[in-house]
Amino acid sequence: MQFKRILLKLSGEALMGNRSHGIDPVRIKEYAKEIKAAVDKGIEIAIVIGGGNIFRGVAGASNGIDRVQGDYMGMLATVINGLALQSAIESEGIDTRLQTAIKMEQVAEPYIKRKAVRHLEKGRVVIFSGGTGNPFFTTDTAAVLRAAEINADVILKGTRVDGIYTADPEKDKTAVKYDRITYKEAMSKGLKIMDLTAFALSEDNKLPIIVFDMNTPGNLIKLVSGEKIGTLVEN
């Protein structure tokens, strides 16, 4: 399975590397090199990144912050991550555009679907930040929404593990990896790949999801070149 246009979903925690919070410059540089290798192959890449390494709205709500306020704080965290990732990718010589779901013209372009697609067609990497621009929606949902809007071939969810397992492989050594699973199987088994809203939106739009280990160098280029890596979720 080869792809022309992909939506890469990265968690904010992925940028922490071995740190307890914030952004690890070594890890973000590694990601930028992986992305450059795929762009050099002619792959059109859009990215949605979370903000959990800086602030997570749900966690803020549990500490007494109003949920809506907390979610907006989380959206701003994704903009910070987006700026950092944009800088890292551009340092590799790749033209990049950051678009935000919440207007902040001095920082980035506002999200406009047609502009995003045009950037992709010109070989630029497009980073979507600010989530959906609305509280109560995760960046997983934002990733599926943007993927559907730009007609991406697939959503690639980069994680710390090499796919989806019957249980958390970091806690349960008997966990077995799935090579392929349907949306309905994943939901019925309660496998926490994405939140249910994102999952339902992905299923409705027939958008395949591949969960893979982004921290292994070369995995991204192997995936977009058609190698079977990680776990495929589809109808």
State how far the Cα of 140 lies from the Cα of 84, in Å rounded to an integer: 20
Q: What whole-number distance in Å separates Cα of residue 209 and Cα of residue 193?
A: 9
CA dist list (Å): 106 to 52, 99, 100, 125: 24, 11, 11, 19
pTM over 0.85: yes
Query: CA 71: distance to chain centroid?
Result: 18
Give a three-class secondary structure readout of 95-120. Answer: CEEEEECCCCCCCCEECCHHHHHHHH
pLDDT in tens, the chain (235 residues): 679 999 999 999 889 988 888 999 999 999 999 999 999 999 999 999 999 999 877 776 677 889 999 999 999 999 999 999 999 999 999 999 999 999 999 999 999 999 999 999 999 999 999 999 999 999 999 999 999 999 999 999 998 889 999 888 888 889 999 999 998 888 888 887 788 889 889 999 999 999 999 999 999 999 998 899 999 999 8
Distance CA 122, CA 182 (A): 34
Q: Are strands 109-110 and 125-129 parallel, antiparallel or unpaired?
A: unpaired
Domain ranges within the chain, ordered by starting residue: 5-163+205-226
Query: What is 5-163+205-226's CATH topology?
Result: Carbamate kinase (3.40.1160)
